[in-house]
């Protein structure tokens, strides 16, 4: 590559333009997604020759003793490979996303935007109505699955074009992931938490759904964990002020972060899935949420705030690769750290209303365990899917793995919808593990009310300022912690769910 700095500058502009395009679509500010045009404007970044040149030294760089050399080289190679693949499937991606945005479900004389159906399901108390709406939702999924199958087949073929035997080996390499070790840890986690999870899910299904667990399906889960019983604890009027007070307590008040913008407006076409869009790090960061009520709004705004304050705190002079690229488990760890303040007994006493704290903590810990088990099963499924196995067998594999892990009926129709590119499930799992370690580290230094002290904010600002220069394993080592130690998670689950 003749001009590496010019390449980096163009890469930054590409990321900023693409992030803004996705932000506009997902925020409901623009119906159609035109990522394809952006990729075409920057196609030189992802020419095969450039990508192969960046990939060539990746194996030696990963074992280099210099973290900076391996970090920047690895991150840039991953960016180039991601972009090469994304560009090749950009038209399929646009068609899928635009179809989802514009799809409407006709139900009970109503026309419900497809993206709004998860919100409707989460607030529907009638099991039969949920089942009927889910059937309509799956009709849309079935219409889109042929496009998704075409896209996943392309992804697998493109990994071969880059010299890898399959998509799994490509992403293990460019993301620096030991997927086999992580899969072993999560299989053990599934085994060791099976009994406590099943026992508590049976109680929750009976208490909150008035159903035996054997009758519960995927479409019932969002209502079960909607937690309407706790709505009065989490008034919508206090949603933003609770966040503002929390970050102020850590010396991270919004007055010091005019670069962070919060959008909680309800609008048609807005994705029900909250997100943070770092439009330009650290200068312009958007936190987008469509409130639907209850504790989940608090969890969600705190989670996205973790991302926002992370990106908004990165040093302006930090290298491009560490601002925008790197190990995404890092930013997900910070997001989880903020999110799980809403499971801290002291934080809840200060920022919520009501007297059902013990029941709520048990409930929210069960939800967290559900998510951990769900993503563990997703990882095991993705390892099969991306090893290049027969795709026609994948709906059954998906349904079997998810149903077994979660003890509910899980339809195979979601086998390509419930999927993020590049083994992002592994990034989430590593983030959950490191968050437990980081939280334990902060509690040992500052106590259970660590969130209330500026000293905690100083520690976090120092971590945030680096962007994603280090992986979660490297951060653990810098804090004197073991790599990917699940003990804090096991301890939390045992303390909160063991009767």
426-442 tens-digit pLDDT: 999 999 999 999 999 99
- The H or E element that residue 287 is part of is strand 284-288
Nearest to 336 by CA among 345, 346, 344, 348: 344
SS3 sequence of 132-151: HHHHHHHHHHHHHHHHHHHH
100-118 per-position pLDDT tens digit: 989 999 998 899 999 889 9
Q: Name residue 263's beta-bridge partners.
A: 288
Q: What is the mean pLDDT of residues 240-261?
A: 96
* CB neighbour burial string for 48-69, b if at least 16 within 10 angstroms, e if fewer: eebbbebbeebeebeeeeeeee
Asked if 345 and 156 touch (Cβ cutoff 8 Å), the reply is no
What does the pLDDT read at residue 67? 43
Asked if 26 and 288 touch (Cβ cutoff 8 Å), the reply is yes
- Give the strand pairing for 104-107 and 110-113: antiparallel
How far is the C-alpha of 366 from the C-alpha of 370, rounded, in Å? 6
Q: How many CB atoms lie within 10 A of CB 188?
A: 12
For residue 421, what is the DSSP state? G
Q: What is the pTM of this model?
A: 0.92
**CA-to-CA separations, 227 to 127, 221, 353, 359, in angstroms, rounded:** 15, 11, 15, 11
What does the pLDDT read at residue 313? 99
What does the pLDDT read at residue 254? 93
- Looking at every residue in the chain, the average pLDDT score rounds to 93
How far is the C-alpha of 23 from the C-alpha of 308, rounded, in Å? 14
Asked if 388 and 167 touch (Cβ cutoff 8 Å), the reply is yes
What does the pLDDT read at residue 56? 87
- Which residues does 326 contact at the CB level (< 8 Å), separation at least 6? 71, 75, 467, 468, 469, 471
Asked if 398 and 412 touch (Cβ cutoff 8 Å), the reply is yes
Q: pLDDT at residue 486 above 90?
A: yes
* Helical ranges in 42-66 per DSSP H: 48-55, 58-62
Q: Name residue 284's beta-bridge partners.
A: 280
Asked if 289 and 264 touch (Cβ cutoff 8 Å), the reply is yes
Q: What whole-number percentage of the chain has pLDDT above 90?
A: 84
Q: pLDDT at residue 65 above 80?
A: no
For residue 232, what is the DSSP state? G
Q: What is the mean pLDDT of residues 270-295?
A: 92
Characterise 477 by phi-psi region: left (phi > 0), alpha (psi -120 to 50), beta (else).
alpha
3-state secondary structure at position 352 = coil
pLDDT band at 59 (very low <50, low <70, confident <90, very high): low
| DSSP secondary structure of 123-191 | T---HHHHHHHHHHHHHHHHHHHHHHHHHHHHHHHHHHHTT-SSHHHHHHHHTT--HHHHHHHHHHHHH
288-338 per-position pLDDT tens digit: 998 877 898 999 999 999 999 999 999 999 999 999 999 999 999 999 999
Domains and CATH numbers, the chain: 4-174 (no CATH), 179-497 (1.10.1370.30)
pLDDT band at 70 (very low <50, low <70, confident <90, very high): low
C-alpha count within 13 angstroms, C-beta hemisphere, residue 10: 15
């Amino acid at each position: 590559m003749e001009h590496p700095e010019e390449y980096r500058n163009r890469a930054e502009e590409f990321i900023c333009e693409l992030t803004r395009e996705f932000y506009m679509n997902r925020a409901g500010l623009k119906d159609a997604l035109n990522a394809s045009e952006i990729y075409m404007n920057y196609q030189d970044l992802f020419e095969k020759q450039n990508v192969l040149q960046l990939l060539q030294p990746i194996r030696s760089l990963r074992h280099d003793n210099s973290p900076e050399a391996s970090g920047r080289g690895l991150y840039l190679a991953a960016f180039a490979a991601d972009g090469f693949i994304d560009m090749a499937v950009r038209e399929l991606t646009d068609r899928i996303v635009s179809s989802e945005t514009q799809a409407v479900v006709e139900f009970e004389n109503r026309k419900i935007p497809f993206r709004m159906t998860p919100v409707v399901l989460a607030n529907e108390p009638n099991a039969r109505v949920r089942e009927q709406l889910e059937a309509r939702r799956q009709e849309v999924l079935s219409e889109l699955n042929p496009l998704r199958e075409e896209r996943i087949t392309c992804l697998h073929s493109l990994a071969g074009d880059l010299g890898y035997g399959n998509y799994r080996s490509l992403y293990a390499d460019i993301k620096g992931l030991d997927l086999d070790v992580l899969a072993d840890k999560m299989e053990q986690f599934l085994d060791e938490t099976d009994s406590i999870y099943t026992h508590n899910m049976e109680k929750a299904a009976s208490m909150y759904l008035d159903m035996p667990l054997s009758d519960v399906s995927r479409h019932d889960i969002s209502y079960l964990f909607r937690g309407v019983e706790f709505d009065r604890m989490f008034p919508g009027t206090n949603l933003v002020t609770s966040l503002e007070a929390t970050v102020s307590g850590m010396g991270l008040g919004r007055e010091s972060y005019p670069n962070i913008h919060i959008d909680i407006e309800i609008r048609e076409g807005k994705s029900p899935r909250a997100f943070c869009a770092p439009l330009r790090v650290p200068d312009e960061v958007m936190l987008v949420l469509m409130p639907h009520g209850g504790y989940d709004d608090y969890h969600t705004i705190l989670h996205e705030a973790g991302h926002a304050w992370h990106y908004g705190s990165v040093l302006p002079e930090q290298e491009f690769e560490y601002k925008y690229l790197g190990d995404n488990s890092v930013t997900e760890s910070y997001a989880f750290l903020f999110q799980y303040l809403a499971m801290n007994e002291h934080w809840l006493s200060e920022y919520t209303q009501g007297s059902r704290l013990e029941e709520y903590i048990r409930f929210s810990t069960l939800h967290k365990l559900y998510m951990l088990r769900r993503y563990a099963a997703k990882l095991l499924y993705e390892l099969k899917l991306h090893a290049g196995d027969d795709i026609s067998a994948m709906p059954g594999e998906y349904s079997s793995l998810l149903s077994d892990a979660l003890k509910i009926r899980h339809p195979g129709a979601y086998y390509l919808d419930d999927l993020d590119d590049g083994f992002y499930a592994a990034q989430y799992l590593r983030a959950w593990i490191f968050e437990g370690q980081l939280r334990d580290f902060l509690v040992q230094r500052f106590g259970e009310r660590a969130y209330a002290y500026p000293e905690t904010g100083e520690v976090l600002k120092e971590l945030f300022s680096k962007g994603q220069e280090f992986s979660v394993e490297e951060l653990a080592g810098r804090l004197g912690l073991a790599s990917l130690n699940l003990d804090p998670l096991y301890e939390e689950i045992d303390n909160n769910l063991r009767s």
